[in-house]
Chain A
Amino acid sequence: MATTELTRPSTRPAASKRPAGGRGRLARLGRSLRRDKLLYLILVPGLIHLVVFKFAPVGALVIAFQQYSPFQGISGSSWVGLDQFHRFLTDPAVLKLVKNTVILAFGTLLFSFPVPIVFALFLNEVRTKWLKKSVQTLSFVPYFISSAVLVSILYTLLSPQGGLVNKVIEAFGGHSVFFFAEPGWFRPLYVGMSVWQTFGYGTIIYIAAMASISPALYEAAQIDGAGRWKQMWHVTLPSIRPMMIVMLILAIGQVLTVDLDKILLMYNPSVYETADVIQTYVYRQAFASRGFPNYSYGAAVGLIQGVIALVMVVTANRAAKKVNDSGLF
């Protein structure tokens, strides 16, 4: 597979024709600065970007401990200690937010994890090459389309005024449903859309893993009298198990990062009951509030979530490395 050529770092030790060494970090830095000044020069834009757009926002998190006012800036705003966090923990809306976040996150995981495995398992049994390739190509299309377009399409299809789905429901004698205004429909729609959007992506990964299974294993299974089903169950599935575990762990690590774009696109006040999650709440506090935007509260809530997500990602990555010697970073 060409991929491995593209990505595997050379294991050969860097044959440095200019030997490193010397005493002390400063001396080494000085020599490196002289010798590699052009390399440092081309590093400058990236370094500025790192400091300004990646480090500075982390520093700006101090507003979570302030009552930040855009007019007074970070240095002029008053410090309030942990008040914002206290407010979050005693906010009556929080229980609902956390519940919605967890249900949406695990609901998505529950479906978007197994679907590509099953799909890839059966797709792998297709022996006609062009057919296999076409199915893979078509199912990967939604992954590239923006959430804005996918939600718009769903909106059109499910519209109570002449939407295709409601036309079909009416044709069968039912009553048309305004899906996007029914709290009960939000979760199925969100999860369904996530599966539609991402299962082609998962399929590619699993198909690649299956492609590297040795044909000898299938030959041996056939000699032992195993049919198609037995081969899928006893050869294919166990062979991709390490990949499944890694994907599962990584998915769990990112489970709390629900797709803010998608929810903002899909929800409206009539479905807040099931659709409002921590991130959308932060968004509204800071960017869509009727009165003064409450940046500090938004930052505090965001910080809590960021820390939880960090712990989950790092733990998941450790676990993934243990299982398969491969992680995200």
Chain B
Amino acid sequence: MAVKAQQSRFSAFGAVNATILVVIALLCVYPFVYIISVSLSDGRFVAAGHVFGWPKGLNIETYRYILSTPRLGILRGLLNSVWYTIAGTTFSVLITFLTGYALSKKRLFGAGAILMGFIVTWIFDAGIVPAYIVNQKLGFVDNWLVMVIPWGFSTFLLIVTISFLRTIPDELEESAFVDGANDLQVMWRIYLPLSRPVIATIAIFYAVQIWNSFLVPLIYFRDRSMAPIQLVLYNLLIAGDADAASFQQIQSHGHEIYPVNIQAATMVFAIVPILCFYPWAQRYFSKGILTGAVKG
């Protein structure tokens, strides 16, 4: 520690180094700031290229317009995403914890073989086409449950859960058995309360994964009304949606709303929930990453 204190004295190296790093870090998030700023600016200033950092002609008319115009599909997409994420995370955490709990018991005959089955299918990915054949047969095309069930169980998070559960001393379980509890009671009353950190970790992983998923809805939802916000954004901005072309400049309470304002606001809708949970997400994600990278 003495060394560190000695090094913390002012030095040219330290100042230059810190400045460069801060600039890089700010550059990383600048595009998000820009988008937020565009969504809150008057369309005329954006089109003229006057918006860089702080919004010009600050207004919330774009958001008001999106929220009051359901035909754009943006509000629908947002609500879809919220629902998929809540339902999906609940399902995923439940199935991961239950399976992880059973497989963490070494006395369970066949636990090793089952875990091996998970790992093998994790390493060898059959690909998108065979999965589609199976899911189509099961009726997952144009079915919202495709966002919840088929990809709702991650082998990586199963292993994280099992590793955690195995750190809980067996004595706790044994004394409960002596008191006459059965496996379900032991799991529910003893292991579940102790497992809060790992449940938070896997919940965050799943929630981010579902919220951000793009390929699955792209393949499985032909019905536009089911699209999550990520897909709505894609249709609006990149795929050249017919609806997007019909966006005209709109006057609202003395402010101009341009298509670029609407696109930016849609991106903000797709980002904000993630940013709200970012402090927790960062903490638990780091734990998960380090688990994956350092110890398997």
Report A's interface with B, CB cutoff 8 A.
1-10, 12, 14-18, 20, 25, 28-29, 31-33, 36, 38-40, 42-43, 45-47, 49-50, 52-61, 63, 68, 70, 74, 119, 122-123, 125-128, 131, 134-135, 137-149, 151-157, 162, 164, 167, 196, 200-201, 204-205, 208, 215, 218-219, 222, 228, 243, 246-247, 250, 260-261, 264-265, 279, 282-283, 286-287, 295, 298-299, 302-303, 305-306, 309-310, 313-314, 326-329
Q: If A9-B166, A53-B153 touch, does A138 touch B25 (CB 8 Å cutoff)?
A: yes
Q: Closest A-chain residue to B46, C-beta based?
A: A162
Is B250 interfacial (CB 8 A cutoff)? no
Closest chain-A Cβ to B284's Cβ sits at a distance in Å of: 10
Q: Please list 25 pairs of residues, one from A and one from B, whose beta carbons are closer than 8 Å in the complex, sorted by A's number.
A: A6-B291, A7-B287, A15-B171, A31-B109, A36-B105, A39-B101, A39-B102, A42-B102, A43-B102, A45-B95, A49-B95, A53-B134, A57-B130, A61-B126, A127-B4, A139-B24, A145-B271, A148-B233, A152-B238, A164-B34, A243-B293, A306-B126, A313-B123, A314-B123, A329-B122
Please state if B108 and A36 are interface contacts (CB–CB under 8 Å).
Answer: yes
Please state if A247 and B293 are interface contacts (CB–CB under 8 Å).
Answer: yes
Closest chain-B Cβ to A19's Cβ sits at a distance in Å of: 10
Please state if A60 and B163 are interface contacts (CB–CB under 8 Å).
Answer: no
Please state if B260 and A162 are interface contacts (CB–CB under 8 Å).
Answer: yes
Q: Which 6 A-B pairs have the closest CB atoms?
A: A46-B99, A302-B127, A146-B212, A32-B109, A60-B130, A54-B121
Q: Closest A-chain residue to B170, C-beta based?
A: A15
Please state if B28 and A141 are interface contacts (CB–CB under 8 Å).
Answer: yes
Please state if A303 and B28 are interface contacts (CB–CB under 8 Å).
Answer: no
How far apart sit A143 and B289, CA to CA, in the bound complex (Å)? 12
- Interface residues in B10-52 by Cβ distance below 8 A to A read 11, 13-14, 17-18, 20-22, 24-26, 28-29, 31-32, 34-35, 38, 46-47, 49, 52
Q: Which of A7, A153, A156, A286 has the most CB of B within 10 A?
A: A7
Interface size on B, residues (CB 8 A): 122
Among A15, A17, A153, A164, the residue within 8 A (CB) of B49 is A164
Contacts of B83 in A (CB 8 A): none
Is B67 interfacial (CB 8 A cutoff)? no
Q: If A153-B31, A156-B263 touch, does A39 touch B214 (CB 8 Å cutoff)?
A: no
Q: A54-B118, A131-B22, A149-B230 are in contact. List 19 more A-B contacts (CB 8 A).
A: A15-B170, A31-B109, A43-B99, A49-B149, A53-B151, A60-B130, A61-B126, A141-B28, A145-B274, A148-B231, A149-B267, A153-B31, A155-B237, A196-B28, A208-B294, A287-B128, A295-B129, A306-B124, A326-B295
Please state if A148 and B102 are interface contacts (CB–CB under 8 Å).
Answer: no
How far apart sit A17 and B219, CA to CA, in the bound complex (Å)? 51
Closest chain-B Cβ to A235's Cβ sits at a distance in Å of: 12
How far apart sit A137 and B81, CA to CA, in the bound complex (Å)? 25
Please state if A215 and B4 are interface contacts (CB–CB under 8 Å).
Answer: yes
Q: If A6-B287, A127-B4, A148-B234 touch, does A42 touch B106 (CB 8 Å cutoff)?
A: no
Query: What total of A-B pairs shows CB separation below 8 Å?
Result: 339
How far apart sit A250 and B274, CA to CA, in the bound complex (Å)? 28
Please state if B21 and A148 are interface contacts (CB–CB under 8 Å).
Answer: no
How far apart sit A60 and B128, CA to CA, in the bound complex (Å)? 11
How far apart sit A138 and B29, CA to CA, in the bound complex (Å)? 7
Is B296 interfacial (CB 8 A cutoff)? yes
Closest chain-B Cβ to A269's Cβ sits at a distance in Å of: 12
How far apart sit A208 and B183, CA to CA, in the bound complex (Å)? 38
Among B102, B123, B174, B237, the residue within 8 A (CB) of A40 is B102
Contacts of B198 in A (CB 8 A): 6
Contacts of B127 in A (CB 8 A): 57, 61, 282, 298-299, 302-303, 305-306
How far apart sit A68 and B18, CA to CA, in the bound complex (Å)? 60
Q: Which of A123, A134, A141 has the most CB of B within 10 A?
A: A141
